[in-house]
Amino acid sequence: MSSDLKERGLSGVRLGISSETELRRAFNELEKIVSAAGWKLEGWVVQEYIAGGKEVRIKAFRDDELGPSIVFEPISFWMRIFGDRSFRLAPLDRDEAKEMIKETYGYYMLVGEDGSLPVDFDALIETMCKMSDLICKLGRVVEIHLHPLKVLERGVKAVDVKVVLEVK
Amino acid sequence: MSLDVLLRPEKIAIVGDAREKTTYKMFIKIVERTTGFPKVKIVDLGGEINGAEKSVKYLGRDIDICVVVLGGKSLGKHLQEIFKRCKLVVLLSDISEQILENREKILGPRSAGIINNDVGLRTSISEIPPAGSVSLISQKQAVTVRILRKMSAYSVGVSKVICTGEGQGIPEIDILKVLASDKSTSTICLNIYRTKNLRNLLDEIGHVSRSKPVVFHFLGKDDWMVASAVRQRGGIYVRNVRELVCGAKILSETPPLLGDRIFLLARTVDLCLDAAKHLSEFTICDVPEKILVKAGLERGNTGCCFKNIDLLVRYIPEFEKVSDGIFLVLEEDEEIEKLEGIRVNKTFVVIYPRRIRSARFPIFEDVEDAALAMKISAERGKFLRKSKIC
């Protein structure tokens, strides 16, 4: 539904809601937009607003030839211009995950060399290792996509997660 | 079937037809090349070659490797008989893959043949590089021929060449396992176009890389993913035939570069500067003033210039103490034979603009090739240090 609205130049997302009153107001606003478009409302998703941190994308997937694999992409200027990303075969150990992050230009952004605050590197490494374990152990899962994953000063939080299962 | 026949074949056979226009030249060439091999049976279905058998029925039943140089129609008729009598069949010509049975004992169709310089087996249509310790597993006939031509030009010493062609009969992973256990192979090169199980092959590269460097050239899938996967497993990923050959040469002829400090030596300042342009990834290191004077060197902007090659040879161990590798650029009129007595324990690369057939260390004609090789050597060194093998 949200993507359909986007196609029409409308936004189905409301950010920075801090009270119940604001939430009700946002519901009403969006209901009006949806009914004006003649659609039936299927439901709402309310989630925590995660401010700050650095955005990265992690994709664990089963490649036809290479098998369980993982891609790490820091979301930055470098990714858009040079396709800044790194790849490894899963499962990963901590050293390999660390190496994967260091291989990208985005590493300097994550450690705060661009003047911003450094992020929780260990939590990011742990997330990558766990994702690589999941793609290796769960046979039915074809792809797990965290896009974006917010790496905060303490811990990480996934804003959006996509899990693709094998169709039998 | 055991693939050990690739390492120690005792009896081989060549089957061809001297009357067949398309394969005649290839057949004669291979027959001529097998004269050095002790036990060879030649079958000429056309009956033109003196002393050759006229039918595959005379082959006997204990042939290790049979190289078949026949075109499609005549080949089909004789294949069953050949399979019955031979442990391994190498098909050089093109043939419809549908009619092929016993795939597990076939190299080909469209194989460039096999070379085993240890036993004098040279049943290949391509140029034969000098004997050495590099082994090559390759698929596409044309690319294999190109690699071997370049290996000959760069004087890369070859131990074994196994071209599997395009039939996907014998898996490359099995050949890799055989070469990993082969004592006369120090470096393995893989040139792969497609494979049944790339993941398994990469895992095997991971095992082999701990004892021998594996240089991997892949013609198929998206580069960056395969490149990362190969490096993760400890292999050396190369993008083209030139890198493959340069990598094979340096890895087989000198110890890997276990650091990034290079001692750059050249006859003139200009040569030093030109070499340094290609070595930007390394730290060009210096020697103490005392040794500099004794060895008759002059410090340039980058690297050092030598005046006397005899003195230079004498002080090589001192240069090794301060660096991880030595990069020596010589001029065309240099007395290169004076380097013959050098004993080196670290990476030692010489650039000399004239072709030298054999030396105890890698000699490149071109600075760019040598720098490329140095990078490959450094990649191997990095893996060895990371895995705590070295």
**Which residues, other chains included, contact B373 with Cβ-Cβ below 8 Å and sequence gap of 6+?**
B246, B247, B249, B250, B349, B362, B364
Under an 8 A CB cutoff, do B232 and A88 touch? yes
Distance CA B14, CA B27 (A): 8
In this prediction the pTM is: 0.92
Give the model confidence (pLDDT) of A79-122 as tens digits: 777 789 999 999 999 999 999 999 998 898 888 887 788 899 99
In DSSP terms, A63 is beta-bridged to A67
Identify the pLDDT of residue B222: 64
Identify the pLDDT of residue B10: 93
Average pLDDT, chain A: 89
Edge-first strand order for the sheet with B106-107 is B40-44, B12-16, B63-69, B86-91, B106-107
Contacts of A69 in chain B (CB under 8 A): 225, 229
User: Closest chain A residue to B196 measured between Cα atoms?
Assistant: A65
Under an 8 A CB cutoff, do A89 and B226 touch? no
Under an 8 A CB cutoff, do B225 and A96 touch? no
- The sign of the torsion formed by the CA atoms of A89, A95, A100, A103 equals negative
Distance CA A136, CA A128 (A): 12
Task: Please check whether the two domains, B110-253 and B261-386, share a CATH topology.
Answer: yes
pLDDT tier at A138 (50, 70, 90 boundaries)?
very high
Identify the pLDDT of residue A111: 87
Residue B103, CB half-sphere, CA atoms under 13 Å: how many? 13
Give, in degrees to the nearest 5, the angle at Cα B177 between B162 and B206: 115
Whether B16 contacts B119, CB under 8 Å = no
Contacts of B224 in chain A (CB under 8 A): 87
* DSSP per-residue letters across chain A: -HHHHHHTT---------SHHHHHHHHHHHHHHHHHTTPPP----------SSEEEEEEEEEETTTEEEEEEEE-SHHHHHH---EEEESS--HHHHHHHHHTSTHHHHHTTTTSS----HHHHHHHHHHHHHHHHH-TTEEEEEEEEEEE-SSSEEES-EEEEEPP-
Containing H/E element for B271? Answer: helix B269-278
How many Å lie between the alpha carbon of A88 and the closest alpha carbon of chain B?
6
What percent of chain A is modeled with pLDDT above 90? 58
Q: Which member of A65, A67, A96 has the closest CB to residue B232?
A: A96
Distance CA B197, CA A114 (A): 43
Contacts of A66 in chain B (CB under 8 A): 198-199, 202, 221, 225-226, 229
Containing H/E element for B382? Answer: helix B367-386
What are the backbone dihedrals phi and psi of residue A56, each rounded to the nearest 5 degrees, phi first? -135, 165
Distance CA A105, CA A77 (A): 10
The packing angle between helices A121-137 and A94-102, to 10°, is 120
Q: Has residue A2 got a pLDDT over 60? A: no
Under an 8 A CB cutoff, do B199 and A88 touch? no
Identify the pLDDT of residue A66: 93
Superfamily the domain B261-386 falls into: Succinyl-CoA synthetase domains (3.40.50.261)
Identify the pLDDT of residue B1: 66
Q: What's the start-to-end Cα distance of chain B, in Å?
A: 36
User: Closest chain A residue to B202 measured between Cα atoms?
Assistant: A66
Out of 3.40.190.10, 3.40.50.720, 2.30.110.10, 3.40.309.10, which CATH number does the structure's domain B1-107 have? 3.40.50.720
Coil, strand or helix: which one is B161? Answer: strand
Burial class (CB in 10 A: 0-12, 13-18, 19+), A146: buried
* Residue in this structure with the two tokens 């990208």, named with its chain if needed: A104
Per-residue pLDDT for chain B (390 aa), expressed as one digit of tens each? 678 899 999 999 999 998 888 888 999 999 999 888 889 999 999 888 888 989 888 888 889 999 999 876 777 778 888 988 999 999 998 877 656 677 788 898 899 999 999 999 999 989 999 999 999 999 999 999 999 999 999 999 999 999 999 877 899 999 999 999 999 999 999 999 988 889 999 999 999 999 999 999 998 766 899 999 999 999 999 999 999 999 999 999 999 999 999 999 999 999 999 999 999 999 999 888 988 998 999 998 889 999 999 999 999 999 999 999 999 999 988 888 888 878 889 999 999 988 777 778 899 999 999 999 999 999 999 999 999 987
CB within 8 Å of chain B, chain A residues 32-71: 63, 65-67, 69
Whether B113 contacts B123, CB under 8 Å = yes
pLDDT tier at A149 (50, 70, 90 boundaries)?
very high
Q: Domains, chain A, ranges and CATH?
A: 2-36 (no CATH), 54-165 (3.30.470.20)
Query: For residue B80, what are its two tokens?
Result: 């069953």
Identify the pLDDT of residue B86: 92
Query: In a mutagenesis test of the A interface, which of B199, B200, B230 is the best target, namely the one with the most A β-carbons within 10 Å?
Result: B199
Identify the pLDDT of residue B16: 92
Under an 8 A CB cutoff, do B225 and A87 touch? yes
Query: For residue A109, what are its two tokens?
Result: 């952004």
Asked if A127 reaches chain B (Cβ–Cβ under 8 Å), the answer is no
Query: For residue B144, what are its two tokens?
Result: 């294999």
B328: number of Cβ within 10 Å: 27
Under an 8 A CB cutoff, do A89 and B221 touch? no
Identify the pLDDT of residue A52: 87
User: Closest chain A residue to B227 measured between Cα atoms?
Assistant: A87
Under an 8 A CB cutoff, do B202 and A65 touch? no
Under an 8 A CB cutoff, do B226 and A66 touch? yes
Query: For residue A150, what are its two tokens?
Result: 């917010």
**Which residues, other chains included, contact A2 with Cβ-Cβ below 8 Å and sequence gap of 6+?**
A12, A13
Query: In a mutagenesis test of the B interface, which of A70, A79, A89 is the best target, namely the one with the most B β-carbons within 10 Å?
Result: A89
Whether B172 contacts B208, CB under 8 Å = no
Bigger pLDDT: B353 or A77?
Answer: B353
Q: What CATH topology corresponds to B110-253? A: Rossmann fold (3.40.50)
Among the listed residues B35, B103, B25, B109, the one whose alpha carbon sits nearest the alpha carbon of residue B67: B109
Under an 8 A CB cutoff, do B202 and A87 touch? no
Annotated domain spans of chain B: 1-107, 110-253, 261-386
Under an 8 A CB cutoff, do A89 and B224 touch? no
How many Å lie between the alpha carbon of B227 and the closest alpha carbon of chain A?
9
How many Å lie between the alpha carbon of B283 and the closest alpha carbon of chain A?
20
* Residue in this structure with the two tokens 């993941």, named with its chain if needed: B199
Coil, strand or helix: which one is B373? Answer: helix
Identify the pLDDT of residue B76: 76
Under an 8 A CB cutoff, do A88 and B198 touch? no
User: Closest chain A residue to B221 measured between Cα atoms?
Assistant: A65
